[in-house]
Amino acid sequence: MYFGWNLGLEKGGTGGLAIATFFIIILYTTFTFSYAELAAAIPKAGGVFDYAHRALGKDLGFIAGMAQNIEFIFAPPAIALSIGAYFNLFFPQVPILAISIFTYLLFTALNIYGVKAAALFELVITLLAVGELLLFAGITLPHFELKNIEHNAFPHGWQGILAAIPFAIWFFLGIEGVANTAEEVVRPQRTLILGFGSAILTLVILCVLIFISAIGVGGWEAIVYKADGTSSDSPLPLALARITGNNHMLYHLLITIGLFGLIASFHGLILSAGRSTYEFGKVKFAPAYLGKIHASFKTPANALLVNMILGMFALLSGKTDEIITISVFGALTLYILSMISMLRLRKKEPGLNRPFLVPLYPFFPVTALVIACISIIAMVVYNLNLALFYILLMALSFGFFKLFKKQGTI
């Protein structure tokens, strides 16, 4: 909510991003309840990897798990860059990259220390961040003007709708990470369902609220471009500055608590990524040391450290929009394979204990599957070079997997 989605306005304008977001809300609503059925029936840390492995076999299980790893490894660097950008508003003399790297080190260490401490921290900063979003909406909505929403709503025509898809997905990206904590929660069936249900409801309400209030102040260009004409990773401060100026207490409050919002997203994705990579190592689909638990802290320390190193390499590109797009490619692959797995398991294992059943089956999983397929096709068309990079990354990973598995190295 605090950054990233505004870059979709540059691609599609207010109208293009709004229409894309409408369909993505349908995707995530139907996907979330379908995924909750899988998570409750197979409560394991690997998430989609475990579901696809069981439903579709070893090879497609690997591809699903690798897509999940790419999503969770590439999303945090994009958020780390935005944390650096927000912090840089307070301390311009501190380089954004230095702040981003320090953030990685600090929160990887917290996750290694323990899941209980990490989860408690996540809860506190999320409550602060949601409260700040509501405060932001309360300040900006009285200044809302319809003409700002209508202005230059489709700068690139209908094609802008398709080009804006990755940034509409960014509003909700990572919600499936709830499933990756399945082995560490009490009563996973009940807890996961409550987690998914409350998460999607919160995100949809905040998405609509922030979209309208941020753009309604001064039009979409005002929260995309900084004074020097470059794209911004901090849209909400840009919107609020038009009302309060950049020296007002409320402006500084937004930046301060806005950092908590970014940290909540960053920290939650690191937590999920560690469990996803750990499960890969545990079943020897990746080097076995990734599946080791720290002797003292009982957390997947090796997986967390490797993910941090990979994330730091992505940081060096400095291109938030491209990092987001690669992460979304992974997410959409995950959504497609998980919905196919769900449909397959209903036929393959009708007797599987399912504490939660998705409503309106098969409408929900099929709807999610169709929208996800259309979205990934549109992303390939409008991001061909990044799509080729993603395909190459997946192909190399699969090639190494088959080679080392054959040799018995992993």
DSSP for residue 263: H
| Residue 181 pLDDT | 67
The answer to whether 283 touches 317, Cβ cutoff 8 Å, is no
- CA–CA separation, 302 vs 264, rounded Å? 22
| Residue 121 pLDDT | 80
| Residue 216 pLDDT | 95
DSSP for residue 57: -
Kindly tell me the sign of the dihedral angle through the C-alpha atoms of 261, 276, 342, 332. positive
The pLDDT > 90 percentage for the chain reads 48
| Residue 8 pLDDT | 93
- Give the CA angle between residues 57, 62, 63 to the nearest 5°: 105
- CA–CA separation, 397 vs 347, rounded Å? 30
| Residue 408 pLDDT | 58
Beta bridge partners of 231: 225
| DSSP line for 95-118 | -HHHHHHHHHHHHHHHHHH-HHHH
pTM of the model: 0.87
**Mean pLDDT by groups of 10 residues along the chain of 410 residues:** 89 96 96 90 84 94 92 89 81 87 89 77 85 91 94 93 94 82 70 84 94 95 88 86 85 79 83 82 84 82 91 82 91 96 96 89 96 96 94 93 69
| Residue 180 pLDDT | 67
Whether omega before 43 lies within 30 degrees of 0, making that bond cis, reads: no
| Residue 398 pLDDT | 93
Q: Classify each residue of 295-320 as buried b or exposed e, where b means 16 or more C-beta atoms within 10 Å of its C-beta.
A: eeeebbbbbbbbbbebbbebbeeeeb
- CA–CA separation, 75 vs 328, rounded Å? 8
- CA–CA separation, 334 vs 307, rounded Å? 18
- CA–CA separation, 309 vs 332, rounded Å? 24
